[in-house]
């Protein structure tokens, strides 16, 4: 049986921290699906098409990585794609508290899906999509925080 993992997120935009977690996680699974979540309560800066396009470009040379948009409950999407694992990146202890609550809820909704946490490399721990968007809105240079493939 293939070990399929879903890495869900908004990736608005994808950061070097996300890329770090993905590159380290991909060898743990047979397939890593990066799920760009469509969340009706969030107003993203970039379209799903832009975000999935950037991620596909970044990982185009790795056949183990797939990228797709999805809506609805993450555990339902896991069932659709046959994923038994959900990957979440952790920067700080506060991230863990939030992510653990979600992981616990997902576990109650689907006992066959396990959440895996990876901490990001220390040099990326201060980078978040929220901060990157703020820098963009205020005309700052974000080249140090995002992959070169991300262009807007």
Decide if 145 contacts 16 (C-beta within 8 A): yes
Distance of CA 75 to the CA centre of its chain: 15
Angle at 67 between CA 81 and CA 5, to 5 degrees: 45
Catalytic entry in 23, 84, 91, 133: 91
Distance of CA 17 to the CA centre of its chain: 10
Active site (annotated) includes residue 42: yes
The answer to whether 129 is a known catalytic residue is yes
| Rounded-to-integer distance, Cα 42 and Cα 44, Å | 6
Listed in sequence order, the residues at least 6 apart from 141 whose beta carbon sits closer than 8 Å to its beta carbon are 135
In whole angstroms, give the CA distance from residue 37 to residue 103: 16
Options 3, 42, 60, 64, the catalytic residue: 42
Residues marked active site are found at: 18, 42, 91, 129
């Amino acid at each position: 049986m293939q070990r399929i993992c879903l890495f869900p997120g908004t990736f608005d935009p994808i950061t070097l921290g996300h890329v770090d977690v993905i590159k380290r996680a991909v060898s743990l699974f047979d397939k890593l699906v990066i799920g760009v979540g469509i969340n009706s309560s969030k107003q993203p800066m970039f379209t799903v098409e832009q975000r999935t396009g950037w991620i596909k470009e970044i990982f185009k040379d790795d056949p183990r990585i797939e990228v797709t948009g999805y809506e609805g409950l993450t555990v339902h999407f896991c069932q659709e794609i046959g994923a038994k694992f959900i990957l979440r990146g952790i920067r700080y202890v506060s991230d863990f508290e939030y992510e653990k609550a979600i992981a616990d809820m997902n576990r109650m909704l689907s006992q066959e899906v396990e959440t895996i946490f990876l901490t990001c490399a220390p040099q990326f721990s201060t980078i978040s999509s929220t901060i990157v968007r703020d820098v963009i809105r205020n005309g700052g240079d974000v080249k140090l925080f995002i992959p070169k493939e991300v262009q807007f």
